[in-house]
């Protein structure tokens, strides 16, 4: 029986921390579905299609990774995909409280859903999307924090806004 997991998020932008967790998840699961959230309440730098395109490019050589989009409740998406496991990454202690609340809520909405947590590698625990956006807006190089293709896309977008 194949083991599937959904790794949901906005991925605006995809960071090296995300990449690390996704690559580690492929060692535990037969297929990792990166579910990119369509969130109209969030002021994203990259639109949903740009995020999906760049994520697919980063993982194009790994057949165990699929990229998809979802809108609405994650548990509805999981049910539609027939996947009962959600993977969440945690960088800091502050992430734990939020992630625990989300995991518990998802389990109440669908008792078949299980959430597992993967702790970020220490090399990536300091990375946040706001940090990356600030680095690029201020003319810095973000290659230590994000894949090159993501950096290129962010630079294009942020230069237009300046």
Distance CA 134, CA 54 (A): 20
Element (H, E) at 154: helix 148-161
Cα 94 to Cα 133: distance, rounded to the nearest angstrom:
21
Known catalytic membership, residue 82: no
Is-contact 89 5, C-beta < 8 A? no
CB of 66 closer than 8 Å to CB of 33: yes
Q: Please indicate whether residue 129 is annotated as part of the active site.
A: yes
**Catalytic residue check, 42:** yes
Q: Is 18 a catalytic residue?
A: yes
Among the listed residues 31, 48, 30, the one whose alpha carbon sits nearest the alpha carbon of residue 39: 48
Q: Which of 44, 88, 120, 129 is catalytic?
A: 129
Question: Which residue among 44, 51, 88, 91 is the active-site one?
Answer: 91
**Of 3, 42, 76, 159, which residue is the catalytic one?**
42
Considering 18, 44, 51, 120, which one is annotated as catalytic? Answer: 18
Q: Which residues are catalytic?
A: 18, 42, 91, 129
């Amino acid at each position: 029986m194949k083991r599937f997991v959904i790794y949901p998020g906005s991925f605006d932008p995809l960071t090296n921390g995300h990449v690390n967790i996704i690559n580690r998840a492929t060692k535990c699961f037969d297929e990792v579905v990166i579910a990119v959230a369509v969130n109209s309440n969030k002021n994203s730098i990259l639109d949903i299609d740009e995020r999906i395109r760049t994520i697919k490019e980063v993982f194009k050589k790994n057949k165990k990774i699929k990229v998809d989009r979802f809108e609405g409740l994650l548990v509805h998406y999981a049910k539609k995909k027939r996947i009962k496991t959600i993977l969440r990454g945690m960088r800091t202690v502050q992430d734990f409280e939020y992630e625990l609340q989300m995991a518990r809520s998802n389990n109440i909405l669908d008792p078949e859903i299980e959430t597992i947590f993967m702790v970020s590698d220490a090399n990536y625990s300091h990375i946040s999307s706001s940090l990356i956006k600030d680095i690029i807006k201020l003319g810095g190089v973000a290659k230590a924090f994000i894949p090159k293709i993501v950096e290129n896309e962010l630079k294009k977008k942020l230069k237009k806004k300046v």
